[in-house]
Amino acid sequence: MKILIGEIAHETNTFSKVKTTVESFKQWEWLHGEAIINKHRKVRDYLGGMIDRAEEIGVEVVPTFSAFAMPSGIITQETYERLVYELINEIKVAGNFDAICLALHGAGVVEGIDDLEGGILTAVRNVVGYEIPIVVTLDLHGNITDQMVKEADALLGVNFYPHVDSYERGMEAIDITKRILLGEVQPKMSLKKLPLMIPTSTTNLSPAKDINQLCWNREEHESILDCTFFHGFPYTNIPEVGVTILTVTDNDQDLADKTSEEIADEVWKRRKEFFPPIVSPIEGIQKALKIDGYPIVINETSDNPGGGTPGDGTHLLSAMLQENLRNACFGFIYDPEVVNIAHEKGVGATIEVNIGGKTDDMHGDPIPIKAYVKTLTDGRFVQSSPMGKGGKINYGKSARLIVNDLDIIVCSKRSQTLDEQIFILHGIDVTTYKIVALKSSQHFRAGFEPLANTIISVDSPGLSSFNLKFFNHTRLAGPVYPFNEEDELLKRNEWSKK
């Protein structure tokens, strides 16, 4: 049994002005053949799960092409053509094989193509036909489309946000593929779309946690192979944006339809709970200072580079400087220009720079600071968060600057902060600090919940704000909660009649 594996993953924030190019992918991952195995074996991600599981059960995997770019703006047409070419070319030269397992995301958007994943799967089908099973893993932030359902045999989404189970989903993809090839199962899928968009919602807390439990209860049924609550990616201006439920059964379309409908009902009933009160950076800091104990982790959800934002937003950092915080650290802000100046001047120097706020004018202005250069590093470490544990990370040249009693880490690549490793790299033990600030919406929880006294999420204008009304969705297929009034929504969907 021989299974081809590959990955093309991008979460596209169409409201970002930063276009996604071949270079954007090459900065993070652009691998062919054996290099994919070498990078992902024993790493807790989708491909790691596929590789390890196949080796464990004696299935041969053939690595094809793997590309990942940090979430950002729309993918150029030229980049899309290149991505598809690289994957298809590897499939063509692979010789005989029995099936394909792909790690896709689900929220990729290309200039002129709203559905990256649907496009990739159709291109693959054009080459391999419909006899070869194709099983796909997806991020729960995927905006799932009918085209993806049509072209794949089974779509498997991660259940957790933070996505700590991508490895398990990779393993599951291999297992289901093997069962399809042995004739043990015949997957049937049902996709239920809700007229609903939700801000980033961790599954560590209700209501998303409860919906997961409902899905898992359904998976107890012997004919239900998978039932996933896809949150969708709201920062996308396409008609097929929003929450979906996808059920995969063993050859039982009615059961798949019924299950997706019923879980969709439950999500719809609880839709208002997905919108927590919004806390500004200043309010968050004041709240933190009233709490005994430490560390208080403050996450800037509105500038989460993991959701396609610039990563150089200054709303939270400027509030921290304004409050003249003691025993506080910020890790990290993206600003290669400031990093270069720090590296030129060296450890022990005092530099005067304008930090952050350079990508656009939505995420705050550059802040003039006079800072002491404490540490300089290459920005490389091994991820320790349960999400992606073992992965080799490279944030480029980095620096730890000190302004009064505030430590600020600055890096040359855009990313959210997933664990305390970037702090450790710069000599900071976050467990001794009163306030630890970072940029991330929910993924940081996997690394920081075990060590934080309290977590406070703050929001301000930004490309990943909780405030969805801040975005101008001009292409919605019809009324959508939370933008439309109840009576308009009533006309569109059947759930609210109940």
Give least dist CB 105 to Zn ion, A: 8
CB nearer to Zn ion: give 133 or 199.
199
Give least dist CB 177 to Zn ion, A: 23
- How many amino acids of this chain bind Zn ion (CB under 5 A)? 2
Distance CA 117, CA 106 (A): 6
CB atoms within 10 A of CB 383: 19
Output DSSP code: residue 32: E
Given a contact cutoff of 8 angstroms between Cβ atoms, the answer to whether 458 and 298 are in contact is: yes
Pairing of strands 29-32, 224-230: unpaired
Give least dist CB 384 to Zn ion, A: 20
What's the length of the chain? 498
CB nearer to Zn ion: give 267 or 341.
267
Task: Mark the segment that binds Zn ion (CB under 5 A) among 131-139, 192-200, 310-318, 395-403.
Answer: 131-139
Give least dist CB 163 to Zn ion, A: 6
Closest residue by Cα to residue 167 from 3, 388, 10: 388
Closest residue by Cα to residue 389 from 414, 411, 421, 429: 421
Task: Return the exposure string of 9-40: e unless at least 16 CB atoms fall within 10 Å of the residue's CB, then b.
Answer: bbbbbbbbebebbbebbebbbbbbeeebbebb
The H or E element that residue 282 is part of is helix 281-289
| Strand ordering across the sheet containing 244-250 | 187-193, 244-250, 224-230
| Residue with the shortest CB distance to Zn ion | 141
Give least dist CB 460 to Zn ion, A: 22
CB nearer to Zn ion: give 46 or 433.
46
Does 165 engage in binding with Zn ion (CB under 5 A)? no
Give least dist CB 122 to Zn ion, A: 23
Task: Mark the segment that binds Zn ion (CB under 5 A) among 115-123, 135-143, 399-407, 461-469.
Answer: 135-143
Does 443 engage in binding with Zn ion (CB under 5 A)? no
By three-state DSSP, how is residue 117 classified?
helix
Give least dist CB 389 to Zn ion, A: 17
CB nearer to Zn ion: give 139 or 252.
139
Give ∠ CA 273-279-284 in degrees, rounded to 5. Answer: 130
Give least dist CB 68 to Zn ion, A: 12
Does 420 engage in binding with Zn ion (CB under 5 A)? no
Task: Mark the segment that binds Zn ion (CB under 5 A) among 141-149, 323-331, 360-368, 468-476.
Answer: 141-149
194 CA to centre of own chain: 21
Does 139 engage in binding with Zn ion (CB under 5 A)? yes
Give least dist CB 142 to Zn ion, A: 8
CB nearer to Zn ion: give 139 or 175.
139
Closest residue by Cα to residue 242 from 480, 462, 74, 466: 480
Give least dist CB 141 to Zn ion, A: 4
Which of 10, 141, 426, 473 is the binder for Zn ion (CB under 5 A)? 141
Task: Mark the segment that binds Zn ion (CB under 5 A) among 134-142, 195-203, 403-411, 482-490.
Answer: 134-142
CB nearer to Zn ion: give 161 or 332.
161
CB nearer to Zn ion: give 235 or 433.
235
CB nearer to Zn ion: give 141 or 363.
141
Closest residue by Cα to residue 383 from 432, 455, 443: 443
Residue 57 neighbours by CB under 8 Å, 6+ apart: 174, 175, 178
Backbone angles phi, psi at 268, to 5 degrees: -60, -45
CB nearer to Zn ion: give 137 or 493.
137
The H or E element that residue 329 is part of is strand 328-334
Q: Which residues pair with 456 in a beta bridge?
A: 298
CB nearer to Zn ion: give 90 or 168.
168
Site for Zn ion in 245-284 (CB under 5 A): none
Residues that bind Zn ion (CB under 5 A): 139, 141
